[in-house]
Structure 1
Amino acid sequence: REKNKYFENQKKEAQKLLEEAGYSDYKNSNQVNLKLRLYKEQNCKCAYSGVTIDLHKLIKDPLAYEIDHILPRSVTQDNSLNNKVLVLKEVNQAKGNRTPFAYFQSGDVKPQYPINNYNLYKESVLGNVNYKKNAKKRGNLLFEEDITKFDMLKQFTNRNLVDTSYAARSLMSTLKNYFSSNNINTSVLTIRGKQTDLFRNRAKSLWYQEHRNKDESLNPFNKDRDIYYHHAVDALIIAGLSNQKTLNYLWNMKKDDENIFVYNKKTGEISAIDPTEDSKLIKFLKDIGNLSSDDFRYSWKIDTKINRKFSDRTIYSTRVIDNETYVINKHSNIYEMKSDYLKEWLTNPEKYEKLFIYHHDRKSFNKIVQAYEQYKHETYPLRKYMEEHGKIKKGPKGPEITSLRYRWKRQGMHIDISNKYNSKNKVILLEISSYRTDIYRNKNGLYKFVTIRYADFFKDSQGYYIDKELYKSKLQDKKIDKNYEFMFSLHRNEILSLKEKDKEKRYYRFTATNNDEKNVCEVKSIDRKDEKRQVFITIGQKTLLIEKFAVSPAGRISKIEKETLQLVR
């Protein structure tokens, strides 16, 4: 409550600053509002340099000052006000993705700044009365640990879990206010993951008692994160807590290495859980335990958004190896590769056999391995080698070795830009994904498809569309003539079934076209994580039947007989 009051006062003071500066009618953005709050909190000075901030420039020029994450957001995932300060643009660029402590230790601080070393910076933080009211922000500003260390990363992960709990409570408060304002008689509460885990373990034990002759792996209360229905089981467990007696059980549950028990908060008396005391709870758990995998429904968000970037903009070369075209990638700086990563690439045959240097310059490859072995106890083995011996060279007078090229993956969807380069190998941009795949069938039951890519779309006053002449050329390229009939379009996460010759019908979640020329699409399982990173289906002579299904948000499924072609004009 005190913290909310503090932040509310900050907002009011920001508005007051606008009025005092003669901008009472100025329609400021949320970003300006945030900058004003930080401006006031920092006593009108840049947090790192101590340079006075020009209020009028702050309000009128959005590029004059920047908001910096004190501790890099990429590490902490912390986007809260407690991790933000207002700074000069040039100071923010100099600090980069570092902590304030690392920035001041780097030697990149300009000597003409009022604050030009860590001691002066620390004095300014400790001397700011506004930070005395906010221990978390003060702690972020004076954080002196190395954020790249594993232990630190683990601590930030734990901190984020606490923040998630806070977010859940905030959402609960919002929902309570909504139900109260609309006179809806509904109770809202938050349940911690630890509590549902305790309840799940109790339910698991009850299932074993009821099904002693069954394989333990069939227990629906086992939490396998690769099988998606565990989310539904968690939801059912939470739903079951609406029973007040069950809720009391849960609140008083504790767990040691072997047992789950109930204790009396007032007396501290411990007793074993007696499930017979709550018949509704037992019936509820048994009902969940009797569910089969077929009782669970799955609903995936279908992606039909058009205005996405259509490639990753990185230029790749390719190589044909054993009649397959592969995309070539590289480790751009071997001296910045960590020990564990180097070990994987230099000692694992599945990895180092993908390296070009291993096949074409074995002596240089062995030099890199020897350098790694010499300094593998270091965080960055090859960096340490470079500091003491210089960069590794191809022979005594050969060029320095900085990067390692390797065979990355089979060429999938791409944009061919070879005509812009003088190269004997194909040069490509990788497409992020196709937008949709249009399925056609002829009178003989033969299936073909057309791939629609994000780059195929045009936009006018009516919105996005595909030029009908372009679409016609795509049909011609795939030899889809008037004997073929359009059946339906498949977007990412739509459900389809596939029946192939001599195989059972299978259900999939559609991903995208993988190789248009070879009629290969990528799919995923509906209810679980696939063992392979990519699963492919080929649509061709062996395809007997393809069906598409509509799925409601609640997971109810119905077959789509036929669709009308969309967005082509």
Structure 2
Amino acid sequence: MKYKGVGEDAFVTGYRIDLKTDKPLFTEFKGYKELRKIITEHRLPDALLDDIDTLDTIVEILTAEKSYTRREQRMKDELAEKYDEQTLQKMVDAFKETTKFSGYHSLSKKAISLVLDELWHSNKNQMQLFSEYGLEQQRLAKLEQRKQIAFDDDAILSTVAKRAHREAIKIVNAVRKKYGELSAIVVETAREKNSEEKRKQYSDFQKKVGKHEKEMAKLLGVQSLAELKLTSKQHLALKLWVSQDKRCIYSGKSIAINDIVATPHLFEIDHILPVSLSFDDSQANKVLCYHGENQKKGQKTPFQYFTSGKALRTFEQFKVEVEKLYKSRLITSKKRDYLLEMRDIENNEELQKEFINRNLVDTQYAMRSFSMTLRTFFKAQEIDTKVLSIRGSFTAALRRRAKMNKDRDESYAHHAIDALIVAAIGRMPIFDFFKEFAMNEEGVIFNKETGEIMGEKEFFNHNYITFLRNLMNYESKIKYSHKVDRKVNRSMSNQTIYGTREKDGEVYYLGKIANIYQLDKNAIKPLLNRLQKHPDSFLIADHHPELFELILKIVKEYENADNPFKAYFEENGYIMKDGKVPVKTLRYRDRKLGVHMNITENYPNAKHDVVLLSIKSVRVDIYKNAEGKYKYLGVPYHWFKQQGNEYILNIKKYNEEKAKDYKKIDDTYEFQFSLYKNDLISYEKNGEYYERVFRGDAMPRLNNIEVDFVYKKKSAQKEGFLTVPTLQNIIKHHIDVLGNVYKIEKENFKTIYKL
């Protein structure tokens, strides 16, 4: 209004109303304000604010890419022709770390540009204009030829969400084929915290912020932090500095508060887990570290970084510090879990699903996109199937009223029960009711016209609640279908590189403990235990026995100190090798080398083999002899070589592995079938029948595979291992998208995969 020069007493109509506060709702232009703020704070060219195409490009990159490295690369690639190198770098540095851009508009830039001028200068709305331009007819014409619902390739979704979309569409098409056209499809949208919870959280947050800012101002010798004109990055750095006990999270080195203010370029705000994988841009996923540490860590997880050999300390030392921060209540359990995450997120789809399901923005958009795909198809085909949306808060209110507790750990069944509840709603006269009444985010039902609130008891009649409770009886009839992973073009292993050494005819991979003078009481224990129990495992004992004797002597003489090496250093300085080289790291033969990938050819100057551990398999092949005894062979990714659009199995390596002592799969054994991740198997053991979902090749030398329950996640790791030779009557089953099970007696041996 102020921009238009209209007085405060002007009579304005047509705006939206906030039902809770009864106040007008106007577009806040948050995105534009953030762009203007960044341009002003970083003294970028003012003309940039008028360059709509460039701003659109920048915002698209910031929204699509969460990795700072990817943002920087794309901005440089796409804006290189417009700006000189110095200006472009200044722009990249200014924009790449903002977290304000996370959502997409429902219209494309092309569609907005088409109708924008008329929206400004006429009273027509966007749908009227689209109709006049014939856009709706063009879109529907493409769908009229299709008999099956197809995935919308234009939907802007994460990889995991796209996969979920495709699977859901397969299910809808299969149901239509089997049962005919549906009366209604009801889609449950993601549930957010209610407004009351949000208000309380915000109030508590404001109090904490006020207290924090007073403490920081006192430490910095000013009346208020506002005097220092800190950037948002510096404000966040101060919060993280406190939560990390005033240290760099990765190196453990102290950080002076004045350095954050005076020399902010020394530090970085790092995402613990890459945003592109974790979908989490909250403070729970952010830490303060020195710039050098951030550069070395890159897009790795902390565990991958500390086991890469680039870090100054070990993961065990880091873990001790993290636990200390958690016990001191400086960090949350969520941040602790992120910092200590040891699983390979990049190659673990199940884990990616966990993260994406926590990200409501992504989930809500995915559900809206799915609903729109269905509505568009049914409209184009003139099929009278209604597509209805129900808030998760409404389903929760129904469960609460019917006293139907949801136990997520007991089984996956709660997903199916929720689906039954939602489907049942679509068959009840409840939607006629919603022509007059509505439900807000908290699940409160109110009259659309009067705003009168209706109680749950008035709304949910006894018969309906009884009907809902009876849905629990269907749990035994629920079918489960796990998405089988047959992709051959995945990464082969985690990227932790290990050196090796041979002793007494056996090859061992090496471990190391770095910065022996800086370890605290807990972190030094593994080293002291190994020195006591396995002194001959240390390489220094072989090559410099006199120096190793000194090390053992130091441990004995300073045995009462928390860290004997630290105590020695404070009195004598470093332990010196040949009087010249300080001994800071001790390496040792860790364990015998098992299944591995030899990558020595990538290191031409290496004197010993360099290997990768934890090799991932495409599949395991099951063999059986005439007596009914089973054996298996894991088939890792690196046995396949790409030739054009095909991946071809190296039969020579395959046969060599079959002949190994721990396999011994000779000609008396016949190939039965291949198991891929999430295949369903059944077997007998000690006269009992079992069904499990295959997860992977766990311990090849011990002939153990990893499995999981069909209907729930295993609660303990030991529940997930099977020794194949101890099993009888192993059968593979195919499950279609509707959960129907088909027995597979035997398969053909496969050597070629097409991309």
TM-score in terms of structure 1 length: 0.58
Pairing 1:107–2:263 present = yes
Of 29, 35, 57 in structure 2, the residue corresponding to residue 34 of structure 1 is 57
- Cα 1:544–1:318, aligned 2, differ >3 Å: closer, same or farther? farther
CA offsets 1:403-455 (integer angstroms, 9 cap, x no match): 899999998743256898667xx964123411111111111112111221101
Q: Residue 480 of structure 1 aligns to a residue in which SS?
A: coil
Q: Mean Cα displacement is larger for which, 52-61 or 188-197?
A: 52-61
Looking at structure 2, the residues matched to 490 and 459 of structure 1 have their Cα atoms a distance apart, in angstroms, of 22
3-state SS of 1:240 partner: helix
- 1:134-533 alignment runs, 5 A limit: 160-161=359-360, 164-165=363-364, 168-169=367-368, 171-204=370-403, 221-225=405-409, 227-243=411-427, 245-246=429-430, 252=439, 266=450, 268=452, 271=455, 273=457, 277=461, 279=463, 281-282=464-465, 284-292=467-475, 294-316=476-498, 355-360=526-531, 396-397=571-572, 398=574, 413-416=595-598, 428-461=611-644, 463-477=646-660, 478-500=663-685, 502-533=686-717
Distance 1:391-1:78 versus aligned 2 partners, 3 A rule: farther
Give distance in 1, aligned partners of 2:397 and 2:560.
53
Matched, 1:562 2:746: yes
Residues 229 and 359 (structure 1), Cα distance of their counterparts in 2 relative to 1, 3 Å cut:
same
In structure 2, the partner of 1:18 is none
- Partners in 2 of 1:559 and 1:536 — Cα distance? 23
User: Cα–Cα, structure 1 residues 57 and 469, in superposed 2: closer, same or farther, change >3 Å?
Assistant: same
Larger helix fraction of residues:
2
Give the aligned partner of residue 732 of structure 2. Answer: 548
Deviation at 1:489?
A: 0.3
Tell me by how many angstroms 1:497 deviates.
1.6
- More deviation, 400-409/301-310: 400-409
- Give how far 1:538 is off: 0.9
Instruction: Count the aligned residue pairs.
Output: 426
SS for the counterpart of 2:702 is coil
Separation in 2 of the partners of 1:300 and 1:101? 45
Instruction: Map Cα deviations across residues 225-272 of structure 1 (whole Å, 9 max, x no partner).
Output: 4521222122222222214544559955998xxxx9966673646545
Q: State the Cα distance separating 1:366 from its structure 2 match.
A: 7.6
In structure 1, how many angstroms separate the alpha carbons of the residues matched to 2:77 and 2:745? 65
Shift of 1:557: 1.0
Residue in 1 aligned with 2:210?
A: none
Q: CA deviation at 1:360?
A: 3.2
> Paired residue for 1:214?
none
Alignment root-mean-square deviation, CA: 5.6
| Distance in 1 (alpha carbons) for counterparts of 2:587 and 2:390 | 49
8 A Cα contact 2:492 2:615, kept in partner? yes
Secondary structure in structure 1 of the residue aligned to 2:692: strand
Q: Which runs of 5+ in 2 are unaligned?
A: 1-25, 36-52, 63-70, 106-231, 238-259, 267-282, 289-329, 336-354, 533-554, 576-581
1:179–1:333 distance in 2 versus 1, CA, 3 Å: farther
Identity of aligned residues (%): 28
Tell me by how many angstroms 1:539 deviates.
1.6
Whole-Å separation in 2 of the counterparts to 1:326 and 1:203: 60
Report the Cα distance in structure 1 between the residues aligned to 2:730 and 2:389, rounded to whole angstroms.
Answer: 44
Structure 1 residues 183, 515: CA separation in 2 closer, same or farther (over 3 Å shift)?
same
Shift of 1:181: 3.5
In structure 2, distance between residues paired with 1:522 and 1:289: 31
Using the TM superposition, give the Cα deviation of residue 60 of structure 1 relative to its aligned residue in structure 2, in angstroms: 12
Residue type of the partner of 2:747?
A: E
Change (3 A) 1:264 1:254: farther
What's the offset of the Cα at 1:515?
Answer: 2.3
Q: Which residue of 2 aligns with 1:21?
A: none
Structure 2 residue matching 1:497: 3-state secondary structure: strand
Q: What is the alpha-carbon distance in structure 2 between the residues aligned to residue 232 and residue 69 of structure 1?
A: 47
Which amino acid is the alignment partner of residue 698 of structure 2? N
